[in-house]
Every structure is written in C-alpha cells, then in structure tokens.
Chains A and B, each alone.
Chain A
Amino acid sequence: MPLITYRKALNDALAEEIMRDENVVLMGEEVARYNGAYKVTEGLWERFGDKRVVDTPISEAGFIGMGIGASMLGIRPVMELMFWSFAYVAWDQIINNAGQVRYMSGGLINCPIVIRGPANGGTNVGATHSHTPENFIANTPGLKVVCPATAYDAKGLMKTAIRDNDPVCVMENTLLYGESWEVPEEEYTIPLGVADIKREGTDVSLIAHGRAVITALKAAEILAAEHGIHAEVLDLRSIRPLDEEAIMKTVCKTHRAVLVDENKPFCGVSAQISSMIMEQCFDELDAPVQRVCALDAPAIYSPALEPIQLPTVQRIISKTLQIL
C-alpha cells in the first residue's frame, strides 16, 4: 500500500467526492488559488475550477451560514475553516442553524454540510488559535464530529462525512498533515461512529482521539518495552456518533482505562467517556478511570512550555503505572 500524508489523503478524498457528486463544492479562505493555508486543497482549484473550489473573504459567519443555507437546497458544501479556532466567529451559524434547524422544522429540513479544518494546539500560535472544540460540537445534538488520527482514517472519514446527510464537523490537525500512513489505492469509506483498535493489548486501555492517539501509541510502546505492560489503544475516530460498544469491549477486556484527550479536562470528551464507563461497566473496573488532558489554562504561547500543556507520553505512562 502506498504511504501518503494525512494532507494528501484529505486532498484525495475531496477530489474524489468532487468528481463523484456534482453538488460538492469546496469553500473557504485561501482554499483555491493559494492552495489552502495548509495546502490541504492543493491543486483542486486548478483541476476543478471556480465553480467547485471557491475562495471566500474573511467572513466566517457569512460564508459558513451561506453553506448551511445552500445545503438545505441540496448543495453539499465542504467548508474550510483555516483554523477551527475561527469557528467562534460563526458559532451561531454552526450551533443554532446547522445544529437546530432539522429539529425545529420537525424533520422537514436537513443540512448535508461538512465543516473542516485543523483543531489543535501544540504549534505556538497562542490561545486564540489553539482551540479544540470537538467537545462543544459533541455537546450539541444535531451536529456530528470526527477527529481522524491517521491518513487512512482522514480519507475514509472525510468521504463519509461528505456523503452524510447531516452536518459533520471534521477536526484535523496541523501537526499530522505532514505525517504519512499506508492508504489503499482502491476506494473505501469509514462509517461515522466506529472506533478502531490501533494496538491490541490486555493490561490497560488507552482511549483517545485525534493526535492524542499517536501520543498514546508512543506511550504504549514504552510501556511494553520498559514495563512489560501491554496497553490496548482504542482510537475513537468519531466523537459523535460514538462507538460506545468498542469502549465497553476494551474496558471489559483490560479492566483498566486511561483516557487521553487534548481537550481541557472540564467537560472534555474524556469526561463523557469516563462517565459512560462508570455507568456501564463499573463492575469490570479494577481501578478508577484515569484521564490525561491538556493542562487547564488557555494555550500558552511559550515554545518552551506549550509541549507540556498537551498530554505527553510521560504523563500517560505515569498515570498508567499508578493503576497497575
């Protein structure tokens, strides 16, 4: 299987869906002629032209809202937020319009829109540019949210997101764009709501999403090599819908769980997972569920400190050792 970058996998997914469905249109700041601020849309404007790949002014509320409106008429807009951090400018459109219109119309309307872009800290761009709003989105029934951790997942989830008939938020990661994974040449999709075991293990379950999966995998390697502990790594992939069954299955297998989450701890995704484990397989637990989250403060700029604000391999290992 060819090795391709997370960026290229997304690019391929977008290109394939543009070709597959004439209603798919990409839109966002600098996505066309500039090839995207992070080059995810590289070459697409050249290939597909002005109608399918559209540069927008810096008007997030306007163009995201416009995409939601257009989706009500059957257009399938794939809207890029240069950073998910800029979604707050368009928050009313995303939460109130994309999130609620189906319910409030008694099911008469649906919004097949994708809103995508990077949502991560760790690049020293300061508090305004480092948000991870997947927990906020997941807190809104009516919206879906996925956080791919590998190129393979990024491509498969993006294609499914575009074909989905509800609003789907795809949260990517600038630190993963340049990383490569094996991706098959033949077409595939990954259903929303299906987690993936990225590493089998028996002693403890490391449950994560997005780049935290990569951090968890590194921790699992060290746990095995240096401590003889076999950690299973479960990648949630999709936050809402959530693969509840896979979570319970791994916890019932290992009887211990460490949740790794780049969200802040208060009402982060891992808080929900933790509560579900407690409710549904309390008797299976041999130790309290542990969490490793971002340190609870706005994202610090200082390049010397930001790396320790996000979950580190070291913190995962020490949390794991505490319960084994």
Chain B
Amino acid sequence: MPSPTEDEVAVDPVDFSKAEVNANLTPDEKMGILRQMLRIRRFEQVSLKYYNQGAMGGFLHLYIGQEAVAVGTVSLLGKNDHVITAYRDHGHALSVGMSMNECMAELLGKATGCSRGKGGSMHFFAPDKNYWGGHGIVGGQTPLGLGLAYGLKYHGLKGCALCFMGDGAVNQGAYHESLNLAALWKLPVVYIIENNKYSMGTTLDRSSAMRNCLAERADGYGIVWDIANGEDLYEVRAKTANAMRRAHEQSLPTVLEIDTYRYYGHSVADANAKKYRAADEIERYKTHHDPIRLWKKRLLEEGVTTDAAMDAMDNEIKLEANASAEFALASENPSPESIFEDVYWEVDNNTEAGNTGRHFFGD
C-alpha cells in the first residue's frame, strides 16, 4: 500500500474529479488539456510519417498512449516548477509549451530546431520554459532532476522538479543514489516513473525486483510514494498535486509511479515491436484505456463540450502538425561552422577565457 501520510488531501478513491485541483478546473482549462494531448498525438503521427520517409535519422521514440501523464502533470506547474525527462521527450516538450515547429525542425536536424539540429529526437530542451531535456542515457537525468530541486532550495524558491523516467530506469544506480540524497537533504523533487510495462522488449517482471510496485522501493529511503492510473487525467493531476504540495510546503521528495502504456515499439526502429507483447494487448489498451478517448468521454459526460467541437479542435491541430512539417522541411540545415558552436560558453561569448589557450583541435 502507498505510504499513508498526514498531508494527503482526502480524495474520493473512485472519482478524482472531486480532488481540489480538478474540481476547480474551468471548462476552458479542461479543453486545454484535451488540446495538449491531441497536439502530442497528432505531432507524433506526422513525425512518424516523415521518419518513415527518411526525413530524419537516428531514433524516434513515440509517446503515443502516454499523453495523460505529461499533460496531466505539467498542467499543474507554476513559475518555479521544473521538468526533466528521458529520451521519450516529445510529449513533455509540447506540454511545457514548446512549439511544434521547433520540435519538428529538431527532428529533421534543422537550424530552426529547438536544439539547433544538434540534439535530435532524444534531446529537446527549453530552459526558458523550465524544461531541462530530453536525456538519452537511461537514468542519467535522475541526478539532474535532484540538482534542479537542490538549486530551487538553495535559492529559497518555493518550487519543485518533476523528474520523469521509465520503468526500466529504476534499476540504474544513479537513481538510487539520488533517492538517498533526496531524502537525506529533503529536496523538493518528484520522481515520476512512467510505467509503460516494458523497457524495450523486457517486461517489468524480467527487469525489476520488487515487493508490489516500483515506487515502493522508496520506502527503504523513507520517501513517500504513490501509484496512479495514467489513463485517468484527474487521478494523475490529483496525485501529482499531492506530491508537488509536499515538495512546496515541506521540501520533501516523492516517488510517484504512473501506470501507462505505449502503443508503438520502443522506437520506430524497434524491429521486434510486435513480438514481445501480444497484438490484442495493444488493442485492448487502445480500445479501453486510451487517455484521449477517456478524457473526451469525460468531457461529454460533464457537458463541457460536444463531439463537433472536439472534432473541430482536432482538425485544427492536424493542420498545426502538418504545418510544422512544412516549416521543418523548408528550414535550412545548420551550417558546417555551427558544428563548433555551443561547445563552450566562454568561446561562444567571445570572452577572455574563451580566447585564452586553444579550445579546439584540428587534425
């Protein structure tokens, strides 16, 4: 069982719509949530089309199926709350307000991309939106998330860091070291394990030893933990809000494991995408657990909107996604000289330090 805590806000275990953060949502805000989830899905569907046409290289890890996690959590963020995640990063990037244009251009390796074509799919960044990436090494971002929390506390700011990770990343030492530090130094970090049940082709039970769930490992460090159903946007928000409150009010960490599912392979290049899990498993999730479908149903039941209005929104978003591809295709490639830019701050800023000694070596 999740650790009982005194600071928990009492919520109806069945209906998280009554949780304070949700009860206060306006119809516009609810539609905004739908918009963000649809934007992720349509953006990625368009990116997939161009990936298959060979317009981009490397890996493309799709977030489709997991949208409620990034959108639900990020919808709660305030001015001093920060986000960092792994390589499956398009959903979080769009959720924090990055534009489809800069994201699509990055996928195509263009100079107009969010990382000037240097990072690619796995390495999106937008520090101006409190979004710190986009990290390719499994678990590598977990101490960085801790560092964001440390920085906030050091500056005396009331904020927190949401550090996202996969269910496979929980087995990296860096994560365990981070948990100890988070508890020891009371740092306002929220580790969000997006448990989509697979790390590449490996099922949860073949990769992780646990008593009941991954988050429960936090017990060993005395860290409060919880689990959430990632197909229910209200639940994601309610439980993340609790964790964030704990960070804001008490400067304490939380581990929140959110159950979710990815529809596509590990990456688009995953040749085994349909071998390690049954086709009907994927179908079952799409039919019965799709976060967008369920949210739409909810909005209809609540009388917030109509099918026609949602379709209109969807069409508009499809246009936005297609336009982003046009933008990316029409954008320039980075210049060859730019290969040597963005390596050292001092050199880029032409400072005395950047001009002292040799920084780059030819052959």
Interchain CB contact under 8 A, A34 and B276: yes
Q: Is A59 an interface residue (CB 8 A)?
A: yes
Chain B residues near A30 (CB-CB < 8 A): 200-202
In the bound complex, how far is the Cα of B207 from the Cα of A33, in angstroms?
13
Interchain CB contact under 8 A, A124 and B120: yes
Interface hit among B74-82, B132-140, B223-231, B249-257: B132-140
Interface hit among B18-26, B31-39, B52-60, B186-194: B52-60
CB within 8 A of A300: which of B334, B362, B363?
A: B334
CB within 8 A of A302: which of B208, B334, B360?
A: B334
Interchain CB contact under 8 A, B172 and A58: yes
Interchain CB contact under 8 A, A298 and B57: no
Q: Is A243 an interface residue (CB 8 A)?
A: no
Interchain CB contact under 8 A, B173 and A305: no
Question: Interface residues of A, CB < 8 Å — how many?
Answer: 47
How many pairs of A and B residues are in contact by the CB < 8 Å rule? Answer: 144
Chain B residues near A292 (CB-CB < 8 A): 363
In the bound complex, how far is the Cα of B340 from the Cα of A127, in angstroms?
13
Q: Is A128 an interface residue (CB 8 A)?
A: yes
Interchain CB contact under 8 A, B276 and A265: no
Interchain CB contact under 8 A, A58 and B169: yes
Interface string of B103-115 (1 = CB under 8 A from A): 0000001100001
Interface string of A232-246 (1 = CB under 8 A from B): 000000000000000
Chain B residues near A29 (CB-CB < 8 A): 200, 202
Interface string of A114-138 (1 = CB under 8 A from B): 0000000001111111000000000
Q: Is the interface of A mostly helix, strand, loop or mixed?
A: loop
Of residues 304 to 318 in A, which have CB atoms within 8 Å of B's CB atoms? 304-306, 308-309
CB within 8 A of B168: which of A35, A57, A265, A308?
A: A57
CB within 8 A of B201: which of A33, A85, A89, A265?
A: A33
Q: Is B322 an interface residue (CB 8 A)?
A: no
Residues of B within 8 A of A (CB): 56-59, 109-110, 115, 117-120, 122-123, 135-140, 168-169, 171-174, 199-202, 206-208, 271-272, 276, 333-334, 336, 338-340, 343, 360-363
For the complex with contacts A300-B117, A305-B339, 10 further pairs of A-B residues with Cβ separation under 8 Å are A30-B201, A59-B171, A126-B120, A127-B119, A129-B58, A265-B361, A290-B363, A297-B343, A304-B109, A306-B57
Residues of A within 8 A of B (CB): 29-30, 33-35, 37, 39, 55, 57-62, 85-86, 88-89, 123-129, 261, 264-266, 270, 290-293, 295-298, 300-306, 308-309
